[in-house]
A and B are shown apart, each in its own frame.
Chain A
């Protein structure tokens, strides 16, 4: 049962009222709804339209109760308590019981008796209530209402109208929570039905929640419809692996196969919601998996036994000790990331490790070390609810951390929280969270943030200086020189809490676990002797055994690998002889091409992966590892909140990365420990956040503004929530709800570039070109926006990133 959000501040006794409910006297805060009081008392009042996270509507009339002094029964979901109120539920009131019985009969009147084939059967509030309090037989002799079925609300969401009880939970969710009122009640009276416009499907990023809150089986998903029975599913609480929002999920497994995912309650984080990626993008877990270790022989990968593969890998890595590098990617659990951090330092004698195979910079490394790694929890979701201002910089929550978006929308809707977004585009998300759009040319974020610090808007600055203010910095700032420095400076100068919101679920955990050159677990600076001492003690090694100098981050690793190509040719010693790469989607890195090219040229490559990839293709040894549902672990969300989970699918042969690394270490004769999640957690528990001095924040100056030529524009870009990401593979219904791939420009920019009349435009860089449909929109003048990695628009492949200057021409290339 979802509980309504509780105020964290204690309630003064003067704000309490006393009432009697079913002869029990209770004191509750003024303004509480009777139905919530009953819940707190453990008294269940049946309900269909009521939902604690939606505004009351009192439409279904199921929760009618008796209030002394009122002639008519009252809806418990809409009546607030008053002093001295005497309430009787169906347990103690004939009036309430009779009223509920009547409503139940009405609800079942036109409801089909198709429970045996209905997805909701077995977990259906209407079915439960009918079984508990309904009549055995119907007194309705007329013909039931029928509709053609099912109809698509979107490619993913299906509607069987005859099952609908018009509770309006789905439509209220769409309007109130998601801000996507594309799903509405249509028609009138007995013909009233949920529906969409003829030409606009319910393509909300949050559409799947409507299925979950539907109290009957009216809404179903293309993905799950007719796939399973609730009693055939084994459910496990899990944490979503798709982004850094940190949603609690429930993963339902049918005979070893992940069949469904639902949002699970976490009042502090996702409440009861999640996004459609988290709900529907799981087919990758079940499909195309690596099953055996592979070893390269005569240029080809062949299946190998575990002992053989471990032996080959261990020998290759041992030979390269001190000249090895590790790329972990941003998707690992914190425990697995920690295993890599430890393995790199004690088995490979290296500090060349990075979890970022995406745009990154030394400035970001320094920012993470100074302002994020090992910092305590916060700012939090709850802080957003009551912040005097939330400043978003280089961060589009709806696409990049959807639950932050939902929370900001609620903060705006319920509390009128002042939100400002520094962005090149006035996005739909900005409007849905009621934010002020602070126009910013892509790449100019540093200057804009500095201007805010200098008081460009006195209200915003005053609010930032008010305790509780929050600044949220997005991942793309790593590619904008000076931006993270400016953000850190703004936070320092105003006292605002600073949150860094990476896109991937494992990034914050990897950072805190020490999977970044120069940082040991808990945010400990590697170059601090006492930090090394603390870590060595936990790892059972001498501090002197640990690297002393910060190693290479991803950029330097790629540089070194490229240098190595030349050095190999001239017979010089390689800088990096071996690499360990975890399940990394290297295509996210703007230098992916260079990296893959360098991997072709020689380093001994060990890959731990769930699926085949560009990396496994080039590896000397490949270890298959467990996907997230096959292992226990935890993700640390953007707040710094650790969200542990256990394995949803048990009994598969796949081992988590930590176990594979432990076996490798064992073969390499390095005392590593068992590498299981419990051991890794126990060590992490000892490595509590660093309390010593953190390094200073970076102070990279914004480069001088670069003029954009008459045929060019500054590129604004980020990844849309639903795009060509690998974890979304295998779910066409979800993909069909993605936003259109299109380029956005202001009319002024389009006219200046001479493309105002063009249907399509071409964005080009020296490395290539992408042709896109053009739409005129609210975009800062001088900029063009396009999605990073959508169908038909892979900007990274042409070396274009947020802030880059790109050539724009009308028509196709």
Chain B
């Protein structure tokens, strides 16, 4: 799919967010990826031309960041954190199970283009280990069984809901969100989950609170 005029218009819109347009290169790349499922040389050329850069300058950026892919990702991006903590707590087993089921390894796409599997780095969700992501939406506290279930349901086209986010759409939809993050889905996932409010829960159980400030007390 080419970057047509409407995509270019969206890119122009992104450029207005910044005092200097070059800053828009990363969200523009996300947008390009949302349209084309990968970062193509053509996309880099279009972005370069819009920003008055050389294609090499955009390529330099696109190749630096892990999330930009230079091969089509497919429908769903599956990330499994295999950094130390998640790996030790079971992430390695989750990854192994998915890899075996999908018949693919790290940074590979399955034959029918449904799943891309990636060993991802720390996802800032260590309290929810082992962490998986589907199209970068959190799928917390996984086991091999739960992870395979997610894959199976996605394969069957069934609804899968992120543990702390919206209903899973697809990789390209998330990439569009990264370019235009006010997407109406912020409310999904609701309030902090039990793990995030673990301390608050204990504090309430034990009657602990922070000392009130002068405003409240006065």
Please tell me whether chains A and B touch each other in their complex, using a CB distance cut-off of 8 A: yes
Contact call A185/B60, Cβ cutoff below 8 A? yes
Contact call B64/A181, Cβ cutoff below 8 A? no
Residues of A within 8 A of B44 (CB): 197-198
Chain A contact residue count (CB 8 A cutoff): 16
Look across to chain A and name the residue whose beta carbon is closest to the beta carbon of B44: A197
A752 at the interface (CB under 8 A from B): no
In the complex, what distance in Å separates the CA atom of A663 from the CA atom of B92?
Answer: 89
Contact call A198/B59, Cβ cutoff below 8 A? yes
Contact call A197/B64, Cβ cutoff below 8 A? no
Given contacts A197-B54, A200-B55, contact A184 B60 (CB under 8 A): yes
Residues of A within 8 A of B48 (CB): 197
Contact call A197/B45, Cβ cutoff below 8 A? yes
Contact call A200/B60, Cβ cutoff below 8 A? no
Shortest B28–chain A CB gap in Å is 16
Residues of B within 8 A of A183 (CB): 56
Checking B41, B45, B54 against A182 with a beta-carbon cut-off of 8 angstroms, the contacting residue is B54
Contact call B63/A197, Cβ cutoff below 8 A? no
Contact call B64/A198, Cβ cutoff below 8 A? no
Checking A181, A185, A186, A199 against B41 with a beta-carbon cut-off of 8 angstroms, the contacting residue is A199
Taking residues whose C-beta sits less than 8 angstroms from the other chain, chain B's interface range is 10 to 19
Given contacts A197-B44, A197-B45, A199-B45, contact A182 B64 (CB under 8 A): no
Contact call B57/A184, Cβ cutoff below 8 A? yes
A195 at the interface (CB under 8 A from B): yes
B58 at the interface (CB under 8 A from A): yes
In the complex, what distance in Å separates the CA atom of A186 from the CA atom of B63?
Answer: 6
Residues of A within 8 A of B63 (CB): 186-188
Main secondary structure of the interface of B (DSSP, over half): helix
In the complex, what distance in Å separates the CA atom of A187 from the CA atom of B59?
Answer: 9
Main secondary structure of the interface of A (DSSP, over half): loop
Residues of A within 8 A of B54 (CB): 180-182, 184, 197, 200
Q: Mark B36-59, 1 if CB is under 8 A from A, else 0.
A: 000001001100100001111111
Look across to chain A and name the residue whose beta carbon is closest to the beta carbon of B40: A198
In the complex, what distance in Å separates the CA atom of A784 from the CA atom of B48?
Answer: 26
Contact call B59/A186, Cβ cutoff below 8 A? yes
In the complex, what distance in Å separates the CA atom of A418 from the CA atom of B142?
Answer: 63
Contact call A187/B58, Cβ cutoff below 8 A? no
Contact call A200/B64, Cβ cutoff below 8 A? no
Look across to chain B and name the residue whose beta carbon is closest to the beta carbon of A186: B63
Q: Mark A190-222, 1 if CB is under 8 A from B, else 0.
A: 000001111110100000000000000000000
Shortest A306–chain B CB gap in Å is 55
Look across to chain B and name the residue whose beta carbon is closest to the beta carbon of A175: B57
Given contacts A197-B41, A199-B41, contact A187 B64 (CB under 8 A): yes
Shortest A738–chain B CB gap in Å is 18
Interface residues of A in 392-408 (CB under 8 A from B): none
Interface residues of A in 115-161 (CB under 8 A from B): none
Look across to chain A and name the residue whose beta carbon is closest to the beta carbon of B55: A197
Residues of B within 8 A of A197 (CB): 41, 44-45, 48, 54-56, 58-59
Contact call A199/B64, Cβ cutoff below 8 A? no
Checking B45, B53, B56, B65 against A196 with a beta-carbon cut-off of 8 angstroms, the contacting residue is B56
In the complex, what distance in Å separates the CA atom of A181 from the CA atom of B55?
Answer: 9
Contact call A186/B60, Cβ cutoff below 8 A? yes
Contact call A195/B56, Cβ cutoff below 8 A? yes
Contact call A184/B64, Cβ cutoff below 8 A? no
Checking B41, B45, B56, B65 against A184 with a beta-carbon cut-off of 8 angstroms, the contacting residue is B56
In the complex, what distance in Å separates the CA atom of A199 from the CA atom of B58?
Answer: 12
Shortest A95–chain B CB gap in Å is 33
Shortest B2–chain A CB gap in Å is 15
Shortest B211–chain A CB gap in Å is 39
Residues of A within 8 A of B65 (CB): 188
Q: Mark B72-94, 1 if CB is under 8 A from A, else 0.
A: 00000000000000000000000
In the complex, what distance in Å separates the CA atom of A183 from the CA atom of B60?
Answer: 9
Which one of A184, A187, A195 has the greatest number of beta carbons of chain B within 10 Å? A184
Contact call A195/B64, Cβ cutoff below 8 A? no
Residues of A within 8 A of B57 (CB): 181, 184
Look across to chain B and name the residue whose beta carbon is closest to the beta carbon of A200: B55
Look across to chain B and name the residue whose beta carbon is closest to the beta carbon of A202: B56
In the complex, what distance in Å separates the CA atom of A183 from the CA atom of B64?
Answer: 15
Residues of A within 8 A of B45 (CB): 197, 199-200
Residues of A within 8 A of B53 (CB): 181
Shortest A418–chain B CB gap in Å is 22
Look across to chain B and name the residue whose beta carbon is closest to the beta carbon of A196: B56
Shortest A795–chain B CB gap in Å is 29
Q: Mark A166-192, 1 if CB is under 8 A from B, else 0.
A: 000000000000001111111110000
Look across to chain A and name the residue whose beta carbon is closest to the beta carbon of B41: A198
Residues of B within 8 A of A185 (CB): 60
In the complex, what distance in Å separates the CA atom of A196 from the CA atom of B59?
Answer: 8
Look across to chain A and name the residue whose beta carbon is closest to the beta carbon of B70: A198
In the complex, what distance in Å separates the CA atom of A195 from the CA atom of B70?
Answer: 15
Q: Mark A637-676, 1 if CB is under 8 A from B, else 0.
A: 0000000000000000000000000000000000000000
In the complex, what distance in Å separates the CA atom of A220 from the CA atom of B55?
Answer: 23
Residues of A within 8 A of B41 (CB): 197-199
Shortest A778–chain B CB gap in Å is 13
Shortest B73–chain A CB gap in Å is 18
In the complex, what distance in Å separates the CA atom of A182 from the CA atom of B54?
Answer: 6
Q: Mark B144-171, 1 if CB is under 8 A from A, else 0.
A: 0000000000000000000000000000
Residues of A within 8 A of B58 (CB): 197
Look across to chain B and name the residue whose beta carbon is closest to the beta carbon of A192: B64
In the complex, what distance in Å separates the CA atom of A231 from the CA atom of B171?
Answer: 58
Look across to chain B and name the residue whose beta carbon is closest to the beta carbon of A183: B56
In the complex, what distance in Å separates the CA atom of A180 from the CA atom of B57?
Answer: 10
Residues of A within 8 A of B55 (CB): 182, 197-200
In the complex, what distance in Å separates the CA atom of A663 from the CA atom of B55?
Answer: 59
Residues of B within 8 A of A187 (CB): 63-64
Shortest A331–chain B CB gap in Å is 35
In the complex, what distance in Å separates the CA atom of A181 from the CA atom of B58?
Answer: 10
In the complex, what distance in Å separates the CA atom of A186 from the CA atom of B41?
Answer: 14
Shortest A171–chain B CB gap in Å is 9
Shortest B160–chain A CB gap in Å is 32
Shortest B120–chain A CB gap in Å is 15
Contact call B56/A188, Cβ cutoff below 8 A? no
Shortest A83–chain B CB gap in Å is 37
Contact call B64/A188, Cβ cutoff below 8 A? yes
Shortest B83–chain A CB gap in Å is 16
Which one of B57, B58, B63, B64 has the greatest number of beta carbons of chain A within 10 Å? B63
- A–B complex contacts, Cβ < 8 Å, 26 sampled: A180-B54, A181-B54, A181-B57, A182-B54, A182-B55, A183-B56, A184-B56, A184-B57, A184-B59, A186-B60, A187-B64, A188-B63, A188-B64, A188-B65, A195-B56, A196-B56, A197-B41, A197-B44, A197-B48, A197-B54, A197-B56, A197-B58, A197-B59, A198-B41, A198-B55, A199-B55
Given contacts A186-B63, A198-B44, 10 further A-B contacts (CB under 8 A): A181-B57, A184-B54, A186-B56, A186-B60, A187-B63, A187-B64, A188-B64, A197-B41, A197-B44, A197-B58
Binding site for A on B (CB under 8 A): 41, 44-45, 48, 53-60, 63-65
Nearest 6 pairs of A and B residues by beta carbon: A197-B55, A184-B60, A198-B41, A184-B56, A197-B56, A186-B63
